[in-house]
Amino acid sequence: MTQLAAGHLKIQQDTIPELNPSYRLLLGPGPCNVDPRVLRITLSPQLGHLDPEFFAILEDTAHLLRWMFQTKNEMTLCVSGSGFSGAEAVLCNLLEEGDTIISGSLGFFSGQIVEISQRAGANVVNLETELGAPLEADVLEQAFKDHPEAKIFATAIAETSTGLLQPLAELERVTHAHGALFVVDAVCGLGGVPMNVDEMKIDACYAGSQKSIGALPGLAPVTLNERAVQVIKNRKRPVQSYYFDLQYLHRYWNGDHNYHHTACSNLVYGLREAVCIAMEEGLEARWARHQLNGDALKAGIEAMGLKLLTRPGYALSVLTAVSLPEGVDELAIRNGLLDEYNIEIGGGFGPLKGRLIRIGLMGYNSCRKNVDTVLAALEHILPRSGLTPQAGAALAAADAVYTR
């Protein structure tokens, strides 16, 4: 073999430390800590991506995801990637060069619909809302009047950058009245906030494994109804991406399991287990649990004299965005929690950088213990930033929610 090349480039072995990650309580915008059952089952023996046993596991997982999405859509599967891989798969399969899409950009995450669609060659009508406020139906109505050619309206049910729960019923009505496809980003919402793909007439929806579903990151569940599937089948040009081609992925997950890519069996095991856990709990109970713990956290936050970013009535249960008073150092608060309490929370993105903290209570992490823990930690950390929460007020306010 003439190609044999010696390992000339050396590395100092002692420059690579032993891997000992801290044990964090992950109360940011996701990932959350997974149920120990999920982690344990992740260690089950590996299966090849073309093993008949694995095909049965894929089918079970798709079946479970249909339940979680509350849909009968045949095309329900996972993209092997993060939540954005699901967004890109849905958008670049539905869009062709020159198509028009209206984006309900509620913040950083749903705002990425703009960039993903533009890169796919689409014309984007960008409806940006005031941060923390929902998109109103009349704004969408006007956009459709100005752009009757629009093929898709896409927005998020749960915008994690601002903690917003976007009401969808009116937006769906307007979208379908104009004959467009109704596409919903549920990356942070699925499994945590009330949603029902079929009843809400969502044509295509994408999610992320690591948020309210409560699995590890690395899989993006997506579901498309027959109308959306027909749009893909009637494309004039192939989808720009092989990796994100939903017809190939559907065939691999739900059809004859023809090879498309090497799915990670262990990640699929964990996602399957997370949805089984949700099924044991029940969807309504799970939504109610996220609502209760989110309410208790918000009561505690407000009792400390802090304000929510989100407009009243539109606050998301699974993620609470807290505006900081002028001059308060967001990073100091986050680092205090991280370094002294091993608690991770999130900061602000883009125009909100440095101006807010974001606390997630998702999946396994949405529990009373975590609400009390983070409130108690904040009560100790905030005074260093010049804030003066009244001792015990936060926990008392949270307690009142639990006992109301």
Site for a second copy in 222-251 (CB under 8 A): 238-243
Residue 83 in the binding site for a second copy (CB under 8 A)? yes
In the range 137-166, which residues lie near a second copy by CB under 8 A? 157, 165
Among 98, 227, 259, 400, binds a second copy (CB under 8 A): 259
Residue 14 in the binding site for a second copy (CB under 8 A)? no
Pairwise CA distance, residues 365 & 132, whole Å: 24
Stretch that binds a second copy, among 31-39, 139-147, 173-181, 381-389 (CB under 8 A): 31-39
Pairwise CA distance, residues 252 & 79, whole Å: 11
Residue among 159, 186, 206, 365 nearest 277 (CA): 365
Q: Identify which of residues 9 and 388 has a Cβ nearer to a second copy in the complex.
A: 9
Q: Identify which of residues 19 and 327 has a Cβ nearer to a second copy in the complex.
A: 19
Pairwise CA distance, residues 46 & 316, whole Å: 37
Pairwise CA distance, residues 128 & 181, whole Å: 19
CA dihedral 5→11→13→14, nearest 10 degrees, is 170
Q: Identify which of residues 331 and 391 has a Cβ nearer to a second copy in the complex.
A: 331
CB of 9 to a second copy, least distance (A): 5
402: left (phi over 0), alpha (psi -120 to 50) or beta: alpha
In the range 272-301, which residues lie near a second copy by CB under 8 A? 272-273, 276, 279-280, 282-284, 287
- 340: tokens are 């002294």
Among 74, 198, 302, 399, binds a second copy (CB under 8 A): 198
Residue 372 in the binding site for a second copy (CB under 8 A)? no
Pairwise CA distance, residues 202 & 199, whole Å: 8
Q: Identify which of residues 97 and 149 has a Cβ nearer to a second copy in the complex.
A: 97
Among 247, 254, 266, 385, binds a second copy (CB under 8 A): 266
Stretch that binds a second copy, among 66-74, 132-140, 303-311, 368-376 (CB under 8 A): 66-74
> Rounded to 5 degrees, what angle do the CA atoms 338, 341, 345 make?
45
